[in-house]
Amino acid sequence: MLKIKMDSRYIYVLVIIIISLSILRPMGLPLVVSDSVRMSYTEIDSLPPGSDIFFNYDLAPAVWSEWGPTTVAVLKHLLSKPLNVILVSTTLAGPSIFENEIKPEITELLDQKKYGEDWVNMGYIAGAEVAMAAIADDVHKALPKDVYGTPIEDLQIFDNIKTGEDFELAIQGGDALMAIRQLNTPYNTPIIALTYGLNYPTYMPYLKSDQLAGLICGLTGSAQYEVLINSPGEGASSSDALSLAYMMVLTLLVIGNASYFKDVLSKRGAK
């Protein structure tokens, strides 16, 4: 008779070990890149040189795991090309997260760019969708100075940008609906959404209707984008950890069920 008993504490320890090792030493497990993530990559990769990109990354500590790594990966892609990137956050913690979490990951690329001409960080702007509407209506009025206090008139990147119509692409973290309403609907600006994994079914209709040009959801989307740009990071390592943890759980389920059915068959045979 096959009977397997395991103290649940051993299972918890095993999960901790597997996740820790995966994060410290990523294995690079194979990933299937979804169509929505590939569309996002293609949209950015096909932009002509000199295109102006509006990037509202909208990060907070509680949502970092959802699209923080994606933000890093997308910025790496943008900064590897001759594009103009305008960074904004409509969440208060955004600028701090950029300086402490994002900027160290992209410093090498930023060093190859000229601040104020190739990229700029406009910091926090209050108002969420109201702020987005104000930016779309009059960029110079809504964003009078950057995060360091430099007037917008002294930032060359804004010389040819007046309204939302002048952006070749907008990338929106979190709530992409406000970007759709304020930039895509009135100006037909393509939108790429970086959002929660659970938002995938919510945003798919907008992708199908071309109101979204791309969609990257959650940690899995981060890992897939890192694969496309050939730059494994936090998304890939976390994806490895989750995959191995799931594999361990499935293995324990198979062993447990095998033990149960073996026990049942043995009891029936004894009768």
Mean pLDDT, the chain, rounded, equals 90
Which pLDDT band holds residue 4 (cuts at 50, 70, 90)?
A: low
Do residues 19 and 231 make contact, with C-beta atoms less than 8 angstroms apart? no
Helices (H), 25-150: 35-45, 64-79, 94-97, 103-110, 129-137, 139-142
Integer Cα distance of 30 and 17 in angstroms: 21
More reliable by pLDDT, 139 or 252: 139
Residues 207-229: what's their mean pLDDT?
Answer: 94
Tell me which long-range contacts 247-250 makes (C-beta under 8 A, separation of at least 24): 248/14, 248/15, 248/18
- CA 223-38-51 angle, to 5 degrees, is 105
Does the pLDDT of residue 153 top 90, yes or no? yes
Do residues 185 and 217 make contact, with C-beta atoms less than 8 angstroms apart? no
- Whether domain 29-231 has CATH 1.10.3470: the reply is no
Residues 155-165: what's their mean pLDDT?
Answer: 96
Does the pLDDT of residue 212 top 80, yes or no? yes
Does the pLDDT of residue 3 top 60, yes or no? no
For position 256, what pLDDT does the model report?
Answer: 78
Does the pLDDT of residue 1 top 60, yes or no? no
Strand order in the sheet with 52-56: 119-124, 84-89, 52-56, 169-173, 191-195, 214-217
Domain boundaries, the chain: 1-27+244-271, 29-231
Least confident of 20-24, 106-110, 158-162, 194-198: 20-24
Integer Cα distance of 251 and 182 in angstroms: 48
Q: Mind listing the pLDDT tens digit for each residue in 167-184?
A: 999 999 999 999 999 999
DSSP label at 34?
P
For position 271, what pLDDT does the model report?
Answer: 61
Q: Mind listing the pLDDT tens digit for each residue in 92-124?
A: 999 999 999 999 999 999 999 999 999 999 999
For position 207, what pLDDT does the model report?
Answer: 95
Residues 64-74: what's their mean pLDDT?
Answer: 94
